[in-house]
Structure 1
């Protein structure tokens, strides 16, 4: 217990002497020199034991407020060529699809596009005109097939598709525009295209074409 009392008395003495001790003060000259050298050459590695004034800090290097933005990098030539090549390939594919005839690999795509255009038409008259365009395309395809060596079996099928598109288009157009001059104009065009084919058709195909021409003549006749 005596030792503990001595320690308490010693602590009280130190606490009593604290107000008389000097506070702060200027830093030691050796500390100032060491701190300046460390600030200039690298990061501080030891604890700072004195107040830091402005004279101890290194001069700040002047920096621009706004850094210049890096200019946009131009697109590589390879990517530009690839984009151009893709666009060209799409144009060629579209043209090849439009030129496809029965038997070609792209022909189903051509017919699907025609059907989609008919369905997307805004009214009955527009749908009728789309059907008549398809009928014109079938007539041109028949002429192309007659000029090829392997088009025989496809001619009859194409003639049938031509007649179906014609009847569907005329029916739609008559409902929307009963006295439309487009009907007679279409009929005259089909006569001029189909009539020269009769001499090249086989017996069953000839019967199809003649029946189609009879139907067309009724559209041209005044009524």
Structure 2
């Protein structure tokens, strides 16, 4: 007996409402990179050697169709800068690397530590949630959350599943991590993001109470989400 995948479109009442494609006015793009200014505090950073980028909704991010904030773009040979009210991105237009991509949190959060370089997880994170409480009896370590004493946090959306055209969850292409300053930035080159504003999670992810959003990224999706449709296989 040969196993085959049953391709059945998920009924509309079981499909989440999504708006995953960002508006063109929010996008700064080159041959191999795409930077989306989702809010003045939240960036999405993507790098792709073949120039293909992910526009489907993921378990973590359902909505990217947000009103673009005011921002400036400064371009010179080998250098791209994006400035919003709350952050300053500097990028050398090459493959994402610590020496070529950085985001500074504006507003005097810290004189020395409020600059994120690609690949950094960020120090002094205030913690988010635990992947599971199975087998836990007492205190346990927390995964990184959306708040940090240095004004930014990193959100890696590269391993979460994406929703396909039939409404099922499927593996996405290899993407890069995301960084977020607490006032808000995100980067995805697999899927990396940075944010400086935890409240941004309520506009890009599943609805959650504001208090939960500020405490941790729980409720925005992830591997621990329950009741999420997955395609079945059978004979």
Q: Return the structure number with greater helix share.
A: 1
Give the structure-1-normalised TM-score: 0.19
Greater Rg over alpha carbons, structure: 1
Give the structure-2-normalised TM-score: 0.18
Q: Return the structure number with greater strand share.
A: 2
